[in-house]
Structure 1
Amino acid sequence: MSPPSLIQASVPSTQTAPIALSYELFPPRNEAAEATLWDTIRELETTNPDYVAVTYGANGSNRDTAVELLNRLLTETSLRPLAHLTCVGNTADELAEIISELLDHGVRGILALRGDLPKDASSQPRAGSLGYAQDLIELIRRVEQRRSALLCAGKVAIGVAAYPARHPESPSVEHDVEVLLAKQRSGADFAITQVFFHADQYKDLVTRARRAGVSIPIIPGVMPLTSLRRVQRLGDLTGVEPAPALLDALGRADDAGQSRRIGVAATVDLARAALDAGAPGIHLYTFNEHGAALEVLDKLQLLRPAPRTAPQRLVRA
């Protein structure tokens, strides 16, 4: 008689997975911004996040600075980077080269995105360029397969975007879920949502996605709502009206300190509601500023493991 399979053994109900924590950073535009960013990185590192996402400019406009930041995170910190990668305007061959470069640097997580379409409506896509995130996911998996012997110590995790509110170019929220399901079928491992302002938007997305067959983790992306201007701007970009009470409170704030307290409290309420709805983690859009993000994290009181030790740089004699 064969011994019982460990795969078939049930996991004790008390062994729940810890809440995942991640941040988003963007490459610095100048030396002053770089100094500020590294202050933020060192502060965020103390919270031992599971990974930090590094954004990638439209059409790879900041590719060199993004790769440099990713490399420094890998060699000078204990942080695990998740590299954003967009496909609009790039051919499969160009993207395969970029993917290989990221893997050579030690990146093992990629957020596969379509990227913004050209603002000039008359612009035509380049011949051979990829048009959808789903195409990019499949390309990453093909590059991974060709390099499987080099990746025995860690395969590639692929993340994608999810939309609690309807994507501005989508005909319906149902279509958004169909796209998310297609991304999963192509090899996506998890999803991070775009910014949302109402807890029900996240809960409704998860409900629709699960009913459609999406099984990958859907992590809520939360922005510290501490700036009236930034909240209004993101409302315009997403097409979702922020809560009128929040806009009113931020608008009546006497100073930046009061605006920050109002925004942090609203962000904590939004994140708690998502966690109460079963969110597997929290992804904080930091805008390269650590203060408000750390306040939100402190008030959420998420249990974090002990910090990892940063890698030691090799010094050659």
Structure 2
Amino acid sequence: MDIRAPEQQYNPYRVYTREEWARLRDDTPMTLEPGEFDRLRSLHDRLDLKEVEDIYLPLSRLLSIYVDATQRLYYAERQFLNIRDRKVPYIIGVAGSVAVGKSTTARVLQALLARWSPRPKVDLITTDGFLYPKALLEQQGILQKKGFPESYDLPLLLGFLSDIKSGRRHVRSPVYSHLTYDIVPNEWAEIDQPDILIVEGVNVLQTGKLPRDGKAVPVVSDFFDFSVYIDADEAALRRWYIKRFLALRDTAFTDPKSYFHRYALLSDEEAIATATAIWERTNLANLEDNILPTRPRATLILKKGADHAVESVALRRL
């Protein structure tokens, strides 16, 4: 079943063309300044005024409805149970392949949501910080599978999300360095009771194997109130990954401290061949085996075209 096909019988999603979705913006105001687009956009991703107006402002409006409804349910339940509980954040997951533009989407949503009235506190983390240290991945022989479900310290990530959802204060998240390709020792980001938390990562919608004894098997998405999957055809993803690799070869990889410094002197032909090999060995395998199968679990799917612009939006029916 193709969940993106509007004519599909028994489709659990409502599918909107870009034009249909853009009309749902209604009177949602543009709160981003023109100079912010470059700061929010990842390398070679698509982000301009039109994309924000057509895609992200309607999504911001929808999220405001979801957050408000969840808060009202929370207060009603608290009154019903006659309890006083800590404030708990609304958690939004952002999933999708490497190079699809997750970071751009997450940052744009953070910027837009933080400007709602009365200015909620919106934090953003990526699951990169919950990867096992490089030395441990090498010891286990799975460094080439970095980004696969088994490369994450799942108990640590689940503990972090459980603390956040419990309303605890000053919850620490490990910090990851893309320069060294490793966890930064003894460095933490602190999340302190946000109103909204955005969690971005390739496998945040991943499920676990079901136990035979019926015991609970928590997964990351158990803590999400809303989730977004960013979708694109494999050919486009491959092209975007190679293009990004070439750009990094001429920028970040030139730093002697970079884990990928050895690629800085590659010719265009060598760099394309290297990027293609990495894509097929690691990123494509992760996409096909782990990431893409989680797409039907998302609340909303943004389908991108070859130019990185969103072509259609699928929203799960209530």
TM-score by length of 1: 0.28
TM-score by length of 2: 0.28
Report which structure shows greater RCO (CA 8 Å, sep ≥6).
Answer: 2
Kindly indicate which of the two structures has a greater share of residues assigned to strand.
2
